[in-house]
Amino acid sequence: MKTPRNFIVKFAYFLDASTKYNSIKTFFYNLLENDNYPYKKYFDFFMIFVILSSVTLLVIDVKHHVPKWLDALDLYFVTTVFVVEYILRMWVYSDVHKIVIEEYEEALFFSKSLKTSTLLKKIFKDKWEYITTPSAIIDLIAILPSYRGLRVLRVLVLFRAFKMLRYTKSLTSFLEVLKNKKFELITLLTLSGFFIFIAGIMLYVFEGNNQNPNIKNLFDSFYWALITISTVGYGDISPVTPEGRVVTMLIIFTGIGLISFATSIIVSSFSERLTMLREDRIVQHLSKKESITVICGFGLLGRLVAKELEREGVAFVVIEKDENLAEMAYGMGYKAICADATSEKVFSQLKIKTNISHVLCLTSDDIVNIFIAVNVKSLNPNVHVSARCSDEEVAQKMYFANVDQVIMPEEIAGMMAAVYEGEPVAFEVLLSIVDQKDKIQMDEIEITPQSFGDGKKLQEVEIEAMRVILLGVLRNCKTKDSEFIFNPSDDFILRAGDNLVCIGHVTAISNLKRKMQ
């Protein structure tokens, strides 16, 4: 004989195994709760529009009768939307079927009977946790103004405005700031309440015995103390005795101190929070792009690389652990995140498996650069990793860590210095190319599939006719079997994926790029 308990357990296992059910629930969870879900913002805009429309109609209806169709729209459509949303939020809050399965399997393990009443209590308790949350209470109260039978419920229309806290991230962030500083704010509120209580009692003692006609009871004294300590001072109650004026002076100074304290707490909290919001926005923006270059470290070398990538129009982001350097990068107009690049979290947020193509480890610490490289390669071995290194022994270890390219600035600087001492003219030529003096640059041009140069011989491409000097061709540059062919012959056949290393005028290089892509 089938009992309700058996049916509930069987249905719970059915839901747990149902792919369609889980995908539907995941969809609604993302739509309601997941800020990173691309379609959530459209749902938020829709709900804000519904809320503002409802509030506007109910406010206008206080003195002017709105058309019946608008009244019906508010009564049926808006109420239905709010009710459906409330039910969906309660549904996605937790998985009831998992509670049932957990209780059932526990009962089997301990060989005890599973009571239907116990099961229902567990389910009710789980959902009651959601119902009693402040946001759920606001959602529930926001439904009540729809019932036209009780006009007094119309005052609860204010709670429909409070619902917008769910859909406006800036307002939610403000509440999170207050929540994070709860201890400081409660301390400040307690201290303020103590001073208001003491000042109110003192003024009542000094002027409550018919000396001040505006102070008729203790409430008037507390009212005066509150508006005075807040530096509002309406002027409707003023002390008339010397003692009362002394109390006023003391409480004014106290109020200024308390307001300064509260301001410093909130400003510091917002400063921290705004930085987090800015970085979250950067992450969300970059997570939608492909072929992102990540610069880890914003020292002198990092700044030079960022400047060059910006000139080339490459999408990149700076990850810097030092707050001052991260703020410097942001101040220079770059997208910057203050985070530890040796951690998996920041790369996962940037979607390293699909969106990141290159990672440049440019910190001044070789060991940190190795850790960053290992972290990146463990998340996605296909990402091209270049790392700065100052020690030759460490450089060998970097290759063991699958670093694709090791950059040794000191070695390069030494070679340049040797060239300058032995061949100063050649050095000046190289320096002018690097600095792009006279708009001369050295660049690499990738040949894309089905482009002008794909499958053609060099003599057919006629690179020299485009006023560009070809130094060589880099073949298989994206693999470890890359090969640089210096000054190839005219019969050399180009193919997709080859990189032409050229020197020429900026305009000529740009013209050749357009042909090869």
- Which backbone phi and psi does 443 adopt, to 5 degrees? -145, 165
Calculate mean pLDDT across residues 3-7. Answer: 74
Most confident of 190-194, 263-267, 457-461: 190-194
The confidence score (pLDDT) of residue 300 equals: 83
Question: Is residue 94 located within the same domain as residue 133?
Answer: yes
Question: Is residue 132 located within the same domain as residue 202?
Answer: no
Q: Centre a 10 Å sphere on the Cβ of residue 356 and count the other Cβ atoms it contains.
A: 24
The confidence score (pLDDT) of residue 459 equals: 84
**Could you tell me the residue range of the domain that residue 459 belongs to?**
438-516
User: Is 280 within a domain?
Assistant: no
CATH code, domain carrying 201: 1.10.287.70
Query: How confident is the prediction for the chain on average, in pLDDT?
Result: 80
Question: Is residue 244 located within the same domain as residue 141?
Answer: no
Question: Is residue 152 located within the same domain as residue 268?
Answer: no
Residue/partner pairs of 315-319 with CB below 8 Å, 24 or more apart: 315/286, 315/289, 315/291, 316/292, 317/282, 317/286, 317/292, 317/293, 317/350, 319/294, 319/295, 319/346
Question: Is residue 145 located within the same domain as residue 195?
Answer: no
Q: How far is the C-alpha of 462 from the C-alpha of 464, rounded, in Å? A: 6
Q: How many domains does the chain have?
A: 4
**pLDDT exceeds 70 at position 172:** no
User: Is 447 within a domain?
Assistant: yes
Q: What is the distance between the terminal CA atoms of the chain, rounded to a whole angstrom?
A: 73
Side chain identity at residue 114, one-letter code: L
The confidence score (pLDDT) of residue 9 equals: 81
Question: Is residue 11 located within the same domain as residue 121?
Answer: yes
Assign 282 a pLDDT band (cuts: 50, 70, 90): confident
Side chain identity at residue 139, one-letter code: D
Assign 420 a pLDDT band (cuts: 50, 70, 90): low
CATH code, domain carrying 486: 3.30.70.1450
Which of 113, 133, 167 is the C-terminal boundary of a domain? Answer: 167
Residue-wise pLDDT tens digits, 182-200 = 788 888 888 888 988 998 8
Calculate mean pLDDT across residues 254-275. Answer: 78
Q: Which one-letter DSSP state was computed for residue 78?
A: I
Calculate mean pLDDT across residues 8-13. Answer: 84
Question: Is residue 323 located within the same domain as residue 379?
Answer: yes
Q: How far is the C-alpha of 416 from the C-alpha of 439, rounded, in Å? A: 21
Which has the higher per-residue pLDDT, 482 or 368?
368
User: Is 416 within a domain?
Assistant: no
User: Is 22 within a domain?
Assistant: yes
User: Is 424 within a domain?
Assistant: no
Question: Is residue 201 located within the same domain as residue 163?
Answer: no
User: Is 177 within a domain?
Assistant: no
User: 171-180, 299-308, 331-340, 369-378: which range is least confident on average?
Assistant: 171-180
With a CB cutoff of 8 Å and minimum separation 6, the contacts of 358 are: 293, 294, 383, 384, 385, 386
Q: How far is the C-alpha of 36 from the C-alpha of 348, rounded, in Å? A: 13
**pLDDT exceeds 80 at position 254:** yes
CATH code, domain carrying 321: 3.40.50.720
Helices (H), 110-241: 116-131, 134-143, 158-162, 164-167, 169-180, 182-207, 218-229
Question: Is residue 238 located within the same domain as residue 297?
Answer: no
Calculate mean pLDDT across residues 511-517. Answer: 81
Question: Is residue 153 located within the same domain as residue 49?
Answer: yes
User: Is 279 within a domain?
Assistant: no
Assign 1 a pLDDT band (cuts: 50, 70, 90): very low
What is the DSSP track for 23-69? Answer: HHHHHHHHHHH-TTSTTHHHHHHHHHHHHHHHHHHHHHTTTSPPPHH
Which of 115, 140, 167 is the C-terminal boundary of a domain? Answer: 167
Residue-wise pLDDT tens digits, 387-404 = 888 877 878 888 777 888
Residue-wise pLDDT tens digits, 75-108 = 778 888 888 988 999 998 888 888 888 888 888 8
Residue-wise pLDDT tens digits, 111-162 = 777 777 878 888 888 888 888 887 888 888 877 765 555 555 556 666 677 7
Which of 358, 390, 407 is the C-terminal boundary of a domain? Answer: 407
Question: Is residue 9 located within the same domain as residue 146?
Answer: yes
Burial class (CB in 10 A: 0-12, 13-18, 19+), 425: exposed
Q: Centre a 10 Å sphere on the Cβ of residue 302 and count the other Cβ atoms it contains.
A: 24
Residue-wise pLDDT tens digits, 199-234 = 888 888 888 777 778 888 888 888 888 888 887 877
Q: Which two tokens stand for residue 340?
A: 């530890």
Within 13 Å and on the Cβ side, how many CA atoms surround 458? 17
Question: Is residue 101 located within the same domain as residue 227?
Answer: no
**pLDDT exceeds 70 at position 354:** yes
Sign of CA dihedral 484, 488, 492, 498: positive
Assign 426 a pLDDT band (cuts: 50, 70, 90): low
User: Is 384 within a domain?
Assistant: yes
Predicted model pTM: 0.55
The confidence score (pLDDT) of residue 449 equals: 84
| CA-based radius of gyration for the chain | 35
